[in-house]
Amino acid sequence: MDKLIIQGGGPLRGEVWISGSKNAALPILSATLLSEGLVTVANLPHLQDVTTTIELLGSLGVTVSIDEKMQLEVDNSTLQSRTAPYDLVKTMRASILVLGPLLARYGEANVSFPGGCAIGSRPVDLHLRGLEAMGATIEIEDGYIKARSDGRLVGCHILMDIVSVGATENLMMAAALAEGQTVIENAAREPEIVDLANCLNAWGADVQGAGSNRLVINGVESIEGGHFSVMPDRIETGTYLAAAVATRGRVKVTQTDPSSLEAVLLKLQETGAIITQGDDWIELDMKGKRPKAVSLRTAPYPAFPTDMQAQLTAINAVAEGTGVVVETIFENRLMQVQELNRMGAVISVEANTAVVTGVERLKAAPVMASDLRASAALVIAALVADGETVVDRIYHIDRGYECIEEKMHLLGARIKRVPG
């Protein structure tokens, strides 16, 4: 297993470009299954989760090719299977996103039941209930979700009792090909939902209201396909900015979308960062100063994202003062805390709340990545720690950060990858 070796020290300085969004790319790749014609998808990030999704499409029999501009072309006229097997689903829960498209387009889908994961139990009941409301029959058999539809799915009214990004996406994709109108109330409002809706509309669907909590989807008989370019990754953006804050540096991120990061930028400003921005760039300058601790509570968009919580905990670990971090989305998402404490941080956890009292400096230690965003927090901590930190199990980082060591290197970090 590869490891990252990070020599802590000076501030991050420089400019780094932002890759396409992982969380937008995964549903968009699943949505290609809805299309009758060819589709092309650009600005895909080179990430393990994207590779896994492409492998999943391949295992269904879909023809996927990549051109010289790293643009993906998908032709699903060759599709043979309607089964997402255990081996792929167990490595990536987002495989559940093929359920809605396969069912809506082919009347049949078998997706291995995703288990719990490190950050929480993560049930899929909302996905299944919504599809049943559209007329699907669903059985759980031999560890598989077996969904069937006799003819087209039928549009309906769905009220989601919890805001779920994945369920909103799955149901939006299924409703795109259903007969009649589907209304989804209490829908997730994340920018990735808007990107998926824009993509579906570009390919011939009729999805209205994305970005609000009420989606209206007028089902169409077929989706023709076309081209779409994936939005920039707001969490990757936030992570490089958070690293700049922790290291008291000055970093400019380019090829990004500042409008998708309002809650994060407000919090980073509270730490003392000076932030300037243009249409597609953000520059953050700490003017060499130690950050101030901030308190936050994660919640669905447009509030502070759970995917940035661990990185802010790392900032608080070296900040002036005490910050209280409350995680409300996932039940077990404070796993970075134990590892940060091994580096000299002073953090106590009770239930879903971490109380972080900043220390002047952290000390290098061997640490282990436990999930994607917790790993990012460990990298940030390592950048400010005295000595050489070894971060093990970095396959978690590779699921969500394209070329992290090269990009950090561009910013002056002393970081290298060693094969394990």
Instruction: Restricting to residues 341-380, name those near ligand UD1 by CB under 6 A.
Output: none
Among 28, 74, 126, 345, binds ligand UD1 (CB under 6 A): 126
In the chain, helix, strand, coil percent, each to 5? 35, 30, 35
Using CB under 6 A as the binding rule, whether residue 334 contacts ligand UD1 is answered as no
CB of 116 to ligand UD1, least distance (A): 9
Nearest alpha carbon to residue 27 among 69, 60, 67, 57: 57
Nearest alpha carbon to residue 108 among 33, 19, 26, 176: 33
State the Cα–Cα distance between residues 181 and 206, nearest whole angstrom: 10
CB of 126 to ligand UD1, least distance (A): 3
For the purposes of burial, counting CB atoms within 10 Å of the CB of 346, is it exposed (0-12), middle (13-18) or buried (19 or more)? middle
Q: What does the per-residue mask of binding to ligand UD1 show for 298-317, with x meaning CB under 6 A?
A: --------xx----------
Among 122, 227, 297, 414, binds ligand UD1 (CB under 6 A): 122
Candidates 163-171, 220-228, 274-282, 289-297; binding stretch for ligand UD1 (CB under 6 A): 163-171
Q: What does the per-residue mask of binding to ligand UD1 show for 83-102, with x meaning CB under 6 A?
A: -----------x--------
The amino acid occupying position 197 is: A
CB of 92 to ligand UD1, least distance (A): 9
Tokens of 165: 């990004």
Using CB under 6 A as the binding rule, whether residue 26 contacts ligand UD1 is answered as yes
Among 8, 155, 166, 191, binds ligand UD1 (CB under 6 A): 166
CB of 288 to ligand UD1, least distance (A): 33
Candidates 70-78, 117-125, 144-152, 242-250; binding stretch for ligand UD1 (CB under 6 A): 117-125
Catalytic residue among 117, 156, 199, 403: 117
Using CB under 6 A as the binding rule, whether residue 125 contacts ligand UD1 is answered as yes
Which residue's CB is nearer to ligand UD1, number 125 or number 139? 125
CB of 328 to ligand UD1, least distance (A): 9
**Please, which residues have CB within 8 angstroms of residue 264's CB and are 6 or more apart in sequence?**
234, 238, 241, 304, 305, 308
Phi, psi for residue 298 in degrees, rounded to 5: -80, 150
CB of 51 to ligand UD1, least distance (A): 14
CB of 233 to ligand UD1, least distance (A): 11
Among 19, 30, 95, 164, binds ligand UD1 (CB under 6 A): 164
Among 50, 136, 165, 380, binds ligand UD1 (CB under 6 A): 165
Using CB under 6 A as the binding rule, whether residue 234 contacts ligand UD1 is answered as no
Tokens of 336: 């970075």
Using CB under 6 A as the binding rule, whether residue 193 contacts ligand UD1 is answered as no
Which residue's CB is nearer to ligand UD1, number 338 or number 352? 352
C-beta separation of 223 from 203 below 8 A: yes
State the Cα–Cα distance between residues 261 and 237, nearest whole angstrom: 9
CA count, 13 A, side-chain hemisphere, 223: 32
User: E strands within 267-406?
Assistant: 274-277, 281-285, 296-297, 322-326, 346-350, 353-357, 362-363, 366-368, 385-386, 388-392
State the Cα–Cα distance between residues 56 and 49, nearest whole angstrom: 10
Concerning whether 117 is annotated as a catalytic residue, the answer is: yes
**What torsion do the CA atoms of 123, 116, 328, 309 make, to the nearest 10 degrees?**
-130
Sheet containing strand 353-357, edge to edge, reads 296-297, 322-326, 353-357, 346-350
Tokens of 420: 């394990």
Using CB under 6 A as the binding rule, whether residue 124 contacts ligand UD1 is answered as yes
Which residue reads 């599809």 in tokens? 131
Which residue's CB is nearer to ligand UD1, number 85 or number 120? 120
Using CB under 6 A as the binding rule, whether residue 103 contacts ligand UD1 is answered as no
State the Cα–Cα distance between residues 333 and 178, nearest whole angstrom: 36
Among 120, 180, 211, 412, binds ligand UD1 (CB under 6 A): 120
Chain residue whose CB lies nearest ligand UD1: 166
Q: How many residues form the binding site for ligand UD1 (CB under 6 A)? A: 20
Contact positions vs ligand UD1 (CB under 6 A): 23, 26, 94, 120, 122-127, 162, 164-167, 192, 306-307, 329-330
Residues annotated as catalytic are 117
